[in-house]
């Protein structure tokens, strides 16, 4: 009993410990209390009712105490088991320098379980870019085996990995588009555009976008005059009043000498100037300079040949021999150059608007993360890295974080402003211009 008591009390709140201890002491007192001889005569009918009562009283008290002790033990056992159930749900917030491998070790989870997760993540690649502030929620079973893991990227984007009956994991993406709110940033250029834009609150990526939009019309290092003015409308994403960290430029105007440049984002993901002229270089349908056989089609409902589990094929495969040059499908910024046990070496490019492209199983990347690339630029050499049956290029196109068929999706081609969207576009332009001019006036008054 004392062994059990100390074992139980170690994990119990203070008041429970006291209740348990006093009950134990009480029952011990009763157990060792001199008791009447327990002979058949004691329970014979010859005993007087008062004697019966007197002889039974300590016993009934002891039983009562034991019953209560039993109840308390049951309650404590229930509490302990609920405590251990809670310990089976663990929450972890990513810190600088963390790697999944290290997080798994520290959580007492095996590298094999991580490997299974990476296999499930092969078509999503969400686990490759865990950053400080992202968080993980692990759910374990009683054998400390991972049952599910939730990755929270931001308030509007969660990924749930769940163990299936055969031990493999499946994933489910939970997206919430939220709301977009715009703000206007204005400034005068003193020195370089970069420094002045930074000062006005633009990020490096936003500055790169502006420079790329106007690159055919102005040379930022040579043509900008001191005192030139710029106006930028930036839209920021919120889910339940919480900023998700996602933002995009929706309008830019630049006044330089007598030159006036403008760019406004249309619903189709392309930028047009205030007259509705396209500023974009078209997307390439195929990111290769020659034609290759398509060896596997995009198929979001593809089933695994062995397990029968849904294993979406989120891209188009081209039968490219190792070393085939891979080209950027459109202008953009390289946001990932990574190595994945299944996807192999891969590159991801963020384009204007909501477009992203991915190039998997590469032999060699010719770009680095953060680098701006132009349409048709060589970004890699194709290969057979990761888990593949043969050399090929796996090419993905994402619109608003969802993979689409790159061969059939409506892609931003350098096309004139679509007829049916013209009125709405010019209405939005007028609205943004008003916002920009108001903000500029306000800034000049200060």
For Zn ion, which is the closer residue by CB, 160 or 286?
286
Residues 345-384 that bind Zn ion (CB under 5 A): none
Residue number with CB closer to Zn ion (311 or 372):
311
The window from 117-125, 137-145, 388-396, 411-419 that contacts Zn ion (CB under 5 A) reads 388-396
Q: How far is the CB of 121 from Zn ion (least distance, A)?
A: 15
Handedness of CA 146, 148, 152, 153 (dihedral sign): positive
Residues 434, 393: Cα–Cα separation, whole Å: 47
Binding pattern for the stretch 261-300 against Zn ion, x by CB under 5 A and - elsewhere: ----------------------------------------
Q: If binding means CB under 5 A, how many residues of this protein chain bind Zn ion?
A: 2
Report in angstroms how near the CB of residue 315 gets to Zn ion at its nearest.
5
Number of CB atoms found within 10 A of residue 363's CB: 19
Rounded to a whole number of angstroms, the CA Rg of the chain reads 34
Tokens coding 231: 């106006």
Distance (Å, whole) CA 308 – CA 315: 19
Report the C-alpha gap between 347 and 208 in whole angstroms.
19
- Give 162-176 as a DSSP string: EE-TTS-EEEEEEE-
Stretch that binds Zn ion, among 5-13, 253-261, 386-394, 401-409 (CB under 5 A): 386-394
Strands laid side by side in the 157-163 sheet: 89-93, 135-140, 146-154, 157-163, 169-175
Is 311 near Zn ion (CB under 5 A)? no
Shortest approach of Zn ion to residue 164 CB, angstroms? 22
Q: How many CA atoms lie within 13 A of 90 on its CB side?
A: 18
Burial class (CB in 10 A: 0-12, 13-18, 19+), 29: exposed
State in angstroms the smallest separation of the CB of 312 from Zn ion: 10
Residue 141's closest CA among 101, 109, 94, 102? 109
* Binding segment toward Zn ion, per CB under 5 A, in 179-187, 285-293, 368-376, 387-395: 387-395
Provide, rounded to whole angstroms, the least separation between the CB of residue 298 and Zn ion: 9
Which residue in this structure is represented by tokens 């299944």? 342
Q: Report in angstroms how near the CB of residue 296 gets to Zn ion at its nearest.
A: 5
- Rule CB under 5 A: is residue 394 a binding residue for Zn ion? yes
- Round to whole Å and give the CA distance between 33 and 390: 83
**Tokens, residue 188:** 């005068």
Q: Which residue is nearest to Zn ion (CB)?
A: 394
List 317, 331, 348, 363, residue binding Zn ion (CB under 5 A): 317
137 vs 295 by CB, closer to Zn ion: 295
Between 2 and 305, name the residue whose CB sits nearer to Zn ion: 305
Per CB under 5 A, the segment of 9-17, 224-232, 247-255, 311-319 that binds Zn ion is: 311-319
The minimum distance between CB 401 and Zn ion, in angstroms, equals 19
CB of 363 to Zn ion, least distance (A): 15
Q: Between 107 and 295, whose beta carbon lies closer to Zn ion?
A: 295
Considering the complex, state which of residue 121 and residue 317 has its C-beta at the smaller distance from Zn ion: 317
CA–CA separation, 265 and 436 (whole Å) = 15
49-57, 173-181, 213-221, 391-399 -> range binding Zn ion (CB under 5 A): 391-399
Choices 9-17, 62-70, 256-264, 312-320; region in contact with Zn ion by CB under 5 A? 312-320
Is the CB of residue 90 less than 8 Å from the CB of residue 18? no
Q: Please identify, among the stretches 52-60, 302-310, 317-325, 429-437, the one whose residues bind Zn ion according to the rule CB under 5 A.
A: 317-325
Nearest alpha carbon to residue 197 among 166, 216, 220, 174: 220
Handedness of CA 6, 9, 15, 19 (dihedral sign): negative
Sites for Zn ion among residues 87-146 (CB under 5 A): none
Nearest Cα residue to 319 out of 278, 289, 291? 291
Residue 396 in the binding site for Zn ion (CB under 5 A): no
Contacts with Zn ion by CB under 5 A lie at 317, 394
């Amino acid at each position: 009993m004392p062994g059990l008591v100390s074992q139980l009390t170690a994990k119990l709140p203070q008041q429970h410990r006291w209740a348990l201890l006093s009950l134990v002491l009480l029952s011990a007192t009763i157990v060792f209390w001199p008791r009447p001889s327990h002979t058949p005569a004691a329970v014979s009918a010859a005993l007087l009712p008062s004697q019966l009562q007197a002889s039974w009283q300590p016993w009934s008290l002891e039983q009562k105490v034991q019953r209560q002790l039993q109840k308390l033990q049951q309650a404590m056992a229930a509490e302990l088991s609920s405590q251990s159930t809670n310990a089976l749900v663990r929450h972890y917030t990513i810190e600088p320098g963390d790697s999944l491998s290290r997080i798994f070790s520290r959580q007492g989870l095996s590298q094999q379980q991580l490997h299974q997760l990476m296999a499930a993540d092969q078509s999503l690649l969400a686990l490759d870019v865990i950053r400080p502030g992202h968080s993980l929620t692990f759910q374990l079973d009683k054998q400390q085996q991972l049952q599910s893991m939730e990755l929270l990227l931001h308030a509007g984007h969660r990924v749930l990995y769940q163990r299936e009956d055969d031990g493999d994991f499946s994933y489910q993406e939970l997206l919430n588009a939220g709301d977009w709110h715009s703000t206007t940033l204005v400034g005068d250029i003193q020195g370089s555009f970069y420094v002045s834009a930074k000062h006005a609150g633009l990020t490096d990526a936003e500055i790169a976008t502006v420079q790329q939009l106007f690159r055919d019309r102005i040379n930022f290092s040579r043509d900008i005059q001191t005192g030139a003015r710029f106006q930028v409308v930036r839209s920021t994403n919120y889910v339940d009043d919480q900023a998700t960290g996602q933002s995009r430029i929706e309008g830019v105007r630049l006044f330089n000498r007598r030159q006036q440049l403008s760019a406004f984002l249309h619903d189709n993901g392309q930028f047009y100037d205030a007259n509705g002229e396209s500023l974009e270089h078209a997307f390439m349908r195929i990111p290769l300079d020659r034609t290759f056989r398509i060896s596997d089609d995009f198929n979001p409902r593809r089933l695994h040949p062995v397990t029968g589990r849904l294993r979406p094929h989120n891209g188009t495969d081209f039968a490219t021999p190792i070393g085939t040059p891979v080209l950027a499908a459109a202008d953009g910024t390289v946001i990932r150059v990574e190595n994945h046990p299944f996807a192999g070496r891969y590159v991801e490019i963020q384009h204007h608007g909501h477009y992203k492209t991915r190039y998997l199983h590469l032999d060699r990347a010719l770009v680095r993360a953060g680098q701006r690339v132009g349409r048709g630029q060589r970004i890699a050499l194709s290969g057979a890295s990761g888990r593949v049956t043969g050399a090929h290029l796996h090419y993905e196109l994402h619109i608003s974080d969802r993979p689409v068929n790159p061969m059939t999706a409506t892609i931003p081609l350098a096309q004139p402003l679509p007829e049916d969207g013209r009125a709405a576009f010019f209405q939005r332009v007028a609205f943004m211009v008003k916002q920009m001019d108001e903000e500029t006036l306000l800034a000049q008054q200060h």
